[in-house]
Amino acid sequence: PQHIKEEHEELWISQEEEQDSDLERHLQPETEVKIEDSYEPETDDSDDWCSECGKRFNHKGSMTKHMLVHTGEKPFSCCLCDKRLSTKGSLTTHMMVHTEEKRYSCSQCEKRFTHKASLTNHMANHRGEKPFSCTECGKGFTQRGHLATHMLGHTGEKPFSCSVCSKSFTQRGTLATHMLGHTGEKPFSCSQCEKTFTHKSSLTYHMANHRGEKPFSCLECGKRFNRKKVMTRHMLGHTGEKPFSCSECGKRFNRKDLVTKHMLVHTGEKLFSCAECGKRFKQKWHLTTHMMIHTGEKY
């Protein structure tokens, strides 16, 4: 999730700064130390220990930066988007998002990254390394944050809820994408035609259509698809399987989203609202059609 990813990136950046600080200290020229007549045994400086988690640091400055993780204080703010960060190094790295600078490149492929930590995680994919495994099902992950998000699926915890329809999600990013369905906003547009999309992934698959790419084929009829999910749905047509049922009337469907739409018949809910006039609709395509009245677009 984005908030988890950002927290981990700030921790990685803080750790890199600590390592750089250690290196600079070792490179400093030696200075003469005056030896006093009286000897006092060395004692641990309590300022170099974190009072919250017990972690020890070589320098008080490093410990001060670390404490920001516990306090949640973010003294550095971005001048372009007002986002706040806990360290100056994190702010410098964040600014690359605005400049679109990607100075870290993969030696195995042509992919480039803004953050060194992102490159490190990407390289683990090339090596097939998944050091973080789920204790419930054994599934492996390249990043600890991905494992943490996955674990929410087992616990059933969904900390992010929609203010319009109260639907809950495990990730903040998923909630943000969901909200676009209520507003009808489609921020992702195709560079080859005028079609727009709510989700970036939908645009990616759409672009594959322009290129004629359809890597997934049906084993029964040979029909090809650009998305595995669409092919899986298509396969249910051959088997006649309808694994999803309505809890109210028992009607069965071959797709989970069809059950969700069907439930609106029983509840009478109108989840989709027009951002222009506030009118509400039961189905998303009704809202899309309605928006044409405001935009002047023809049916």
Domain assignment present for 120: no
Query: Considering 183, 199, 227, which residue would you say is the last residue of a domain?
Result: 183
Q: Give the model's confidence band at 299: pLDDT under 50 very low, under 70 low, under 90 confident, else very high.
A: low
Question: Are 178 and 217 within one domain?
Answer: no
Domain assignment present for 31: no
- Mean local confidence (pLDDT), 224-246: 86
Question: Are 160 and 194 within one domain?
Answer: no
CATH code assigned at 235: 3.30.160.60
Question: Are 170 and 200 within one domain?
Answer: no
Domain assignment present for 26: no
Q: Give the model's confidence band at 100: pLDDT under 50 very low, under 70 low, under 90 confident, else very high.
A: low
| pLDDT exceeds 60 at position 39 | no
Place of tokens 């018949």: 265
Domain assignment present for 163: yes
Domain assignment present for 10: no
Range of the domain at 266: 253-295
Higher pLDDT, 252 or 260: 252
Domain assignment present for 94: yes
Domain assignment present for 13: no
| Closest of 62, 80, 85, 76 to residue 10, by C-alpha | 85
Contacts 24+ apart (CB under 8 A), 32-40: none
CA 293 to CA 194: how far, in whole Å? 18
| pLDDT exceeds 80 at position 7 | no
CB 279 within 8 A of CB 273: yes
Burial call 145-162: b when 16+ CB within 10 Å, e when fewer: bbbebbeeeeeeeeebee
Q: What is the pTM of this model?
A: 0.37
CA 158 to CA 84: how far, in whole Å? 25
Burial class (CB in 10 A: 0-12, 13-18, 19+), 167: middle
Domain assignment present for 281: yes
Phi, psi at 136, each rounded to 5°: -90, -45
Question: Are 179 and 194 within one domain?
Answer: no
What's the domain count of the chain?
4
- Mean local confidence (pLDDT), 226-254: 86
| pLDDT exceeds 90 at position 221 | yes
